Amino acid sequence: MRPDDLAAAVAAGILDRATADRLAAFLKARADADDAASEGEVVEVARNFNEVFLSIGVILFCIGVAVAGALVFMPLVVWGLAEALRLWRRTRLPMIVLAAGFALGIVIDANVFAPDGPWSVTAAAGAALVGSVLFGLRFGVPFAAGLAAAAGAVVTGTALYQLAPGFAAAHALKVVAVYGLATFAVAMAFDASDPHRRTARAAAGFWLHMIAAAALVHGVLGQFAEGGAGPFGLWAARSIEPSSAWAIIALAALLVAVALVVDRRALLVSALSYLAGVVFLIARASSLSGETPVAVALTLVGLFVLVLGIAWRPVRGFVMKPLPDALKNRLPPQHI
């Protein structure tokens, strides 16, 4: 609605001036929110510095409880603090700290009370997974979804190692990739339920995408690194096969396209180390010596990130054009 539309409504007696002003402010706030959402993930970790201050208090209090010898009661203490903060005011950063503390407390208790054995790590991670889900549901903390996904990765890996150690050792990166793909599917389900990203579901999707990206990128691209050692293997290698280099570049380009379509930059962060490693090896193969290959790799990858970040909206619009409308309706809207 244009300003002259509101002025015409006031002149016609449909709205009074005060109502028109409130409506204009409301519409502007919604437009600003849509514009912010169209720029990508809105990561609201803290509303103000008071939340940082409260988080410091939470950390110090929990450390004090642990030093006093009540470490086994940490999950109860953390849950009680979360209930108290929830009654006082809805906060973000303190709840993130409490969610992490609750999961850590559960892991510690599992190691204290559960008998040592081959399944002890799996049991502790499983307890942390369940606890994170319950904490997230009770207090509406999207960060808990990421904690649950991380705990799920530990459960999957350790359980598979106990059930089939030979298979787990031989196909570790493939298992990581499959887990990353499954987590990505769950994250997309959260995103599809809130394409405008106005609820906690979208925030939970962001944290799930962070875990999915790390697992998916390392699981897929790590297989092309020397010895399957991931990005660190690339940086430690003396050279790289051209086929592996092109495969990593092609997969990185595919990830860029997927990230643009789903409007999630988190998918790209984990791939940057691989891309930088490939550029580093190519630069070193070009007879560059000393620190020059490192400088070339970091400069080119940094430039790529800057250009893509600045041009994200128009590039995303170009990528979205050929997609069917049925798919576009399930994705975040494009504003150019």
Q: Where are the domains of the chain?
A: 1-38, 43-170, 174-336
Q: What is the pLDDT of residues 242-256, one digit of tens each?
A: 777 888 888 888 989
Cα separation, 156 vs 145, in Å, equals: 16
Q: pLDDT at residue 44 above 50?
A: yes
Average pLDDT across the chain, whole number = 85
Residue 286 confidence (pLDDT): 72
Task: Name the residue with higher pLDDT: 224 or 111.
Answer: 111
List the single range of 59-63, 66-70, 143-147, 302-306 with lowest mean pLDDT: 66-70
Q: pLDDT at residue 336 above 50?
A: no
Residue 42 confidence (pLDDT): 67
pLDDT above 70 covers a percentage of the chain that reads: 88
Residue 282 confidence (pLDDT): 80
Mean pLDDT computed over 1-28: 78
Residue 113 confidence (pLDDT): 83
Residue 18 confidence (pLDDT): 84
Contacts from 212-215 at CB under 8 Å and sequence distance 24+?
A: 212/149, 212/180, 212/181, 212/183, 212/184, 212/186, 212/187, 212/267, 213/180, 213/184, 213/266, 213/267, 213/268, 213/269, 213/270, 213/271, 214/180, 214/270, 215/153, 215/176, 215/177, 215/179, 215/180, 215/183
Band of the pLDDT at 107, cuts 50, 70, 90? Answer: very high
Q: What is the CA radius of gyration of the chain?
A: 24
Handedness of CA 138, 139, 141, 142 (dihedral sign): positive
Cα separation, 247 vs 99, in Å, equals: 39
